[in-house]
Structure 1
Amino acid sequence: DGWGRARLAIIPDASAASLREFITANIAPGSTIVSDGWRGYGNAVEGYAHEPVSVWKSGLEAHASLPAVHRLFALVKRMIEGTYQGSGSVEHLQEYLDEFVFRFNRRHSTHRGLVFMRLLEPAVKRGPVTYRNLVRKPEPKAVHPRGVSGPHALPGSMERETSERPWRSPRATLE
């Protein structure tokens, strides 16, 4: 498909300083950066060849001017909506982006065992992870969701008499 590797990160704002931090962490010096024509890049792209593409001046649709960027974000949105079915949270967005980048950058891998190994390496190095490590807000919710209160019984549609099941009897033995 001619695309290189993807790098995605949430940045605090669109300032040149924030953009510069992302660029220097993810793009090799001397590379060419192709971007939209936004003036805010300013000195963020200093030291790199910069090819701004003004969508407005080109007269083309944005997806025609910068097709790879628009295709990449369409794939990200599809992955998040398809995988998490709308239940993803903003607090975990960076993790969703990391998962997408991991899969995207290994999409043409011919050595599936290496992909699995690369997935396991950080897990083994990190050690055990608890639920409280995974959630952004580890303290219990102040207001519990509405639902069934009291003893947890089956809903009326599920209540029925138990049938004879000798295999569930504690006295049942294998003969």
Structure 2
Amino acid sequence: MDRHFLPTRSKQLMALASFPGAGNTWARHLIELATGFYTGSYYFDGSLYNKGFKGERDHWRSGRNVCIKTHESGKKEIEAFDASIVMIRNPYKALMAEFNRKYGGHIGFASQAHWRGKGETSANDTVPLLLCNYCCNYSVTTIGISLYITLFILYLGLGLSQNVDKRLGLGLKLIGLLL
């Protein structure tokens, strides 16, 4: 199917927001096939551009793309968009997919050596709380993701950490439940 930029500037800037590894690139591919129009990106990934995602090179605020890929979760970044599609994936699967992408490319897999080394440290120490913070920011400012989902994501991260009490306190602070 032939794809094109939108013929007229879009009236709304639509984010396609997700935590890395949630399937944003796959969703963009399907959106482009279904609509015939390019999707853009908050970033520029030359490898995706070379694989046919021509909206990668277009400035994200141009209004010429159906939606804009973003992994940003700060208030300022969220408010830069008029509307959002927020993708949520099983956090375990998202972490696995992001680790594979980071160490094996968009269509590759991380080597066994990567899994035995950095993988455990990376997943154990920071990512579960980043997931919690990401979902919490979107729930407060845009679509109202329930507190249950935010706490569930935090809970999934607890089994990966050796410092449960400290991390639970930090996680609850992030979502405003601990004074």
Same fold by TM-score greater than 0.5:
no
TM-score normalized by the length of structure 1:
0.33
TM-score normalized by the length of structure 2:
0.32
